[in-house]
């Protein structure tokens, strides 16, 4: 199976911006095991700005754009060093791709080049790690939309599944942090107005996503016949359950699937 796994900043780091070593080590171990089982795995990873905040010993995520770009430049080095070190322990080679929205839109040359590169990297047995090019693409930082990036990557390379690891168990009928009566929605076949209205606000202090961006990603996937699963990244081993088809998190069913 060709699968894209998107991991958010809240899964990779603590609130301090420092690396959550236990989570990242387990994530790399499970993804390596997925590859060993014969799956083609692509990792879309947030975390550059968050890790840059920790590396530079800043008190909080900066608000001005030059500082965000500086954090991204520092944090991306730390992020890829960590992935390269951990995946190599399981005999897997990583490849870094930093992209902008223009690389994944339309049928132009840049989109073709991106797709051809990814497909060749998969043929060579590597594990591509993709992130937004936050040091130059200020629009991407402002949107904070690696969820949509994950969806665009998934449909571009013909992935069967996009798994979004985040800080919540899935889509709820309301924000579970504010409404104790909120109920997890296990499966979505249509993005109704009620479902869209259930999306809360933004993410954590170091991340910039939220459920609204995940529903945008779900729409992209569903329209192209790709399934998407939102699940908590607190225990990366949950990826085994998703790959085995067990009911965890919220699964969005691609159009045309039974």
**How does pLDDT run across 59-81, given as a tens digit for each residue?**
888 889 899 889 989 989 989 99
Mean of the pLDDT values across residues 234-245? 95
Which pLDDT score, from 0 to 100, does residue 101 have?
Answer: 75
Average pLDDT over the chain, rounded to an integer: 87
Q: Do 56 and 66 form a contact (C-beta atoms < 8 A)?
A: no
Helix (H) or strand (E) holding 151: helix 146-156
For residue 125, give every residue at least 6 positions away whose Cβ sits within 8 Å of its Cβ, in sequence order, or none. Answer: 93
pTM over 0.85: yes
Mean of the pLDDT values across residues 171-182? 84
CB atoms within 10 A of CB 100: 16
Which pLDDT score, from 0 to 100, does residue 145 have?
Answer: 67
**How does pLDDT run across 117-168, given as a tens digit for each residue?**
999 999 999 999 999 886 776 665 444 468 889 999 999 999 999 999 988 8
Helix (H) or strand (E) holding 164: strand 161-166
Q: Residue 92's pLDDT band (boundaries 50, 70, 90)?
A: very high
**How does pLDDT run across 24-70, given as a tens digit for each residue?**
999 999 999 999 999 999 999 988 888 888 889 888 888 898 998 89
Distance, CA of 107 to CA of 102 (rounded, Å): 10
Q: Residue 203's pLDDT band (boundaries 50, 70, 90)?
A: very low
CA atoms within 13 A on the CB side of 99: 29
Which pLDDT score, from 0 to 100, does residue 246 have?
Answer: 93
Mean of the pLDDT values across residues 79-87? 95
DSSP 213-249: HHHHHHHHHHHTT-EEEEEE-SSTTHHHHHHTT---S
């Amino acid at each position: 199976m060709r699968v894209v796994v998107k991991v958010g900043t809240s899964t990779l780091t603590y609130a301090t911006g420092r690396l959550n070593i236990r989570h990242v080590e387990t994530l790399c171990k499970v993804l390596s095991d997925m590859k060993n089982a014969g799956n083609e795995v692509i990792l879309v990873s947030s975390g550059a700005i968050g890790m840059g905040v920790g590396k530079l010993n800043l008190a909080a995520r900066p608000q001005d754009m030059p500082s965000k770009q500086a954090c991204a430049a520092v944090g991306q080095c730390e992020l890829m060093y960590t992935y390269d070190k951990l995946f190599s322990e399981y005999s897997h080679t990583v490849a870094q791709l930093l992209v902008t929205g223009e690389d994944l839109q339309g049928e132009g040359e840049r989109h073709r080049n991106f797709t051809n590169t990814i497909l060749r990297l998969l043929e060579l047995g590597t594990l591509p790690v993709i992130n937004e090019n936050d040091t130059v693409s200020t629009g991407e930082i402002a949107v904070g939309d690696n969820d949509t990036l994950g969806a665009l990557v998934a449909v571009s390379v013909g992935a069967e599944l996009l798994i979004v690891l985040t800080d919540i168990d899935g889509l709820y009928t309301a924000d579970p942090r504010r409404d104790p009566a909120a109920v997890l929605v296990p499966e979505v076949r249509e993005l109704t107005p009620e479902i869209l209205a259930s999306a809360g606000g933004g993410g954590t202090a170091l991340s910039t996503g939220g459920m609204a961006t995940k529903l945008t990603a779900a729409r992209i996937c569903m329209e192209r016949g790709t399934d998407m699963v939102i699940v908590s990244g607190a225990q990366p081993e949950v990826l085994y359950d998703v790959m085995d088809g067990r009911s965890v998190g919220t699964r969005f069913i691609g159009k045309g699937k039974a």
